[in-house]
Amino acid sequence: MKIEVLTLFPNMFACLNESVIGRALENEKFTLNVTDIREYSTDKHKKCDDYPFGGGSGMVMTPQPIFDAIAAVDPNRDCKRIFLSPKGKTLSQPLVEQLSSEENLLFLCGHYEGVDQRVIDSEIDLELSIGDYVLTGGELACMVAIDAIARYIDGVLGSSESTNEESFSNGLLEYPQYTRPQNFRGMTVPEVLLSGNHGEIDKWRYNEQIRITKEKRPDLLEEK
């Protein structure tokens, strides 16, 4: 997969060079190109924002640098083009999985009070939100989406990591995990996990998933 990011703050994306995603990029499991929208501004001061027509507070990102940046990085429109916005469709694990099967993704990060609507109307395939709250810009939301999507790309997770048995993988929250020591300061590990009886362990884990989901996220059970 190739991921293109368009932003006014390319340095923020240094976070993705760490940990699991950093390792995957180094091993070329997918490619990530971060483009500074400002480089495409034809304004002599490289200005990328202006006052909103109709008045109101804040600034709006102007269309010219964004149209030109998109045309430069995705000339044949072979990326699914995503704009990060609190107005978008809320990211969920099924949507993450669906996006991970795309060949190429392009993320446009907005700032200030938003971007000129003509960009969204003519250039964007999907508006995406990471939740019902407002961030100062789309960059953090974009990194959240990339992190979640990249986990589904072949070879990104190591053999000991997996998307099979984790929260949301079967619509339920994950069961509790324990490691050594068996007794830590008087707190012990559930006996069944030490039994070696895999049938009983599976049963216990499933019951724990139901119990925890009921307790923490009953809405997930209602959806089923």
Quick one: which of 62, 85, 209, 213 contacts ligand ADE (CB under 6 A)?
85
* Rounded least distance, CB 134 to ligand ADE, Å: 5
The DSSP code sequence of 44-90 is TT---EEPPTT--SS-EE-HHHHHHHHHHH-TT--SEEEEEEEEEEE
Q: Under a CB-based contact definition with an 8 Å cutoff, are residues 9 and 35 in contact? A: no
* Rounded least distance, CB 211 to ligand ADE, Å: 31
Of 115 and 173, which has the nearer Cβ to ligand ADE? 115
> CA 119 to CA 111: how far, in whole Å?
14
Quick one: which of 130, 149, 156, 172 contacts ligand ADE (CB under 6 A)?
130
Of 135 and 172, which has the nearer Cβ to ligand ADE? 135
E strand spans, the chain: 2-7, 31-36, 49-50, 60-61, 80-90, 104-109, 126-129, 183-184, 187-188
* Interface positions, 131-150, toward ligand ADE (CB under 6 A): 131, 133-135, 138, 141
Phi and psi (nearest 5°) for 160? -85, -10
* Rounded least distance, CB 40 to ligand ADE, Å: 21
Of 69 and 82, which has the nearer Cβ to ligand ADE? 82
- Residue 3 token pair: 């991921």
* Rounded least distance, CB 4 to ligand ADE, Å: 17
Of 129 and 209, which has the nearer Cβ to ligand ADE? 129
**Site mask, ligand ADE, residues 61-80, x = CB under 6 A?**
--------------------
> CA 199 to CA 55: how far, in whole Å?
66
If one asks whether residue 86 binds ligand ADE (CB under 6 A), the answer comes out as yes
Sign of CA dihedral 183, 189, 190, 194: negative
If one asks whether residue 114 binds ligand ADE (CB under 6 A), the answer comes out as no
Given the rule CB under 6 A, which residues bind ligand ADE? Answer: 84-86, 129-131, 133-135, 138, 141
